[in-house]
């Protein structure tokens, strides 16, 4: 990795808090996918919801609010904490990476808002919630392909988030 210009703390790397939050959010997204299956069963008019499904539904709502809060914290951290310097990646890769990361921030924050709205205020927001989930799946797919590519190239990008910062 190129050395950071002196005095610019926005060019060093992700902080421990940013790395920890990245992986907590990944676990919560997997948990949200798993618990959402129980919502589909709970809302099926031909099935009597099991106690487990009701607990999983509640878990989805509370963990979703937590996930939305953590995304807000992450967006805040981007303003106040360090941000990684770029490697020698071509400009189009930089732009694509910024678009995918920005898209993930928007789609996950949007899901927390639309999920809350669908559950407590206006059920039709559920359609936007589901649409945003499909957007998230596409973006996560692209993100994982990019992470695998940088891991194979060993250009230092993957280790920014995989290695624990010193
Ligand atoms: C970033 C956070 C969230 C993620 C990733 C997420 C993910 C999902 C997924 C994958 C589904 C199922 C979509 C399908 O049927 O194909 C779903 C449905 C649902 N979620 Fe979330 N969710 C999040 C936050 C929330 C929150 C905060 C609430 C409520 C407080 C919530 C309430 C609901 C409801 C009510 C549905 C059923 C929507 C419908 O069928 O119309 N979600 N969510
Ligand atoms: C639900 C799954 C995931 C989500 C929502 C997600 C989200 C994000 C976001 C928003 C960033 C940008 C951080 C910032 O600049 O503020 C990021 C960076 C990163 N993520 Fe993920 N991520 C996910 C899964 C993964 C996985 C599975 C890997 C690796 C195998 C990974 C590796 C990375 C790496 C290496 C970076 C740093 C990229 C760079 O500095 O240019 N992510 N992730």
Cα-to-centroid distance, 46 and ligand 1 (Å):
21
- The backbone torsions φ and ψ at residue 51, rounded to the nearest 5 degrees and listed phi first, read -60, -40
- Residue 76's pLDDT is 95
- Residue 58's pLDDT is 98
- Look at residue 89 and tell me whether its pLDDT is greater than 90: no
- Look at residue 145 and tell me whether its pLDDT is greater than 90: yes
Contact 68, 112 (CB under 8 A): yes
Q: What is the DSSP letter of 112?
A: H
The preferred substitution site among 15, 22, 23, 32 for testing ligand 2, maximizing ligand atoms within 8 Å of CB, is 22
- Mean pLDDT over the full length of the chain: 91
Please work out whether the CB of residue 63 comes within 6 Å of at least one atom of ligand 2.
no
Q: According to CATH, what is the number of the domain 9-162?
A: 1.20.950
Contact 67, 136 (CB under 8 A): no
pTM of the model: 0.92
Please work out whether the CB of residue 133 comes within 6 Å of at least one atom of ligand 1.
yes
Rounded-to-integer distance, Cα 87 and Cα 69, Å = 31
Please work out whether the CB of residue 93 comes within 6 Å of at least one atom of ligand 1.
no
Domain ranges of the chain: 9-162
Q: C-alpha angle 120/107/22, rounded to 5°?
A: 105
pLDDT tens string 95-121? 999 999 999 999 999 999 999 999 999
pLDDT tens string 60-86? 999 999 999 999 999 999 988 877 776
- Residue 86's pLDDT is 67
pLDDT tens string 6-51? 333 345 789 999 999 999 999 999 999 999 999 999 999 998 999 9
């Amino acid at each position: 990795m190129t050395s950071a210009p002196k005095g610019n703390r926005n060019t060093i790397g992700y902080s421990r808090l940013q790395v920890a939050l990245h992986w907590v959010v990944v676990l919560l997204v997997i948990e949200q996918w798993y618990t959402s299956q129980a919502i589909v069963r709970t809302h099926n008019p031909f099935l009597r919801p099991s106690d487990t499904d009701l607990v999983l539904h509640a878990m989805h709502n509370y963990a979703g609010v937590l996930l939305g809060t953590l995304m807000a914290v992450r967006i805040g951290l981007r303003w106040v904490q360090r941000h990684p310097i770029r490697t020698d990646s071509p400009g189009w890769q930089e732009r694509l990476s910024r678009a995918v990361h920005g898209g993930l921030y928007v789609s996950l924050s949007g899901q927390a808002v639309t999920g809350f709205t669908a559950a407590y205020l206006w059920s039709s927001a559920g359609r936007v919630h589901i649409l945003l989930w499909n957007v998230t799946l596409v973006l996560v797919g692209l993100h994982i392909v990019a992470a695998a590519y940088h891991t194979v190239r060993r250009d230092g990008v993957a280790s920014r988030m995989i290695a624990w910062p010193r």
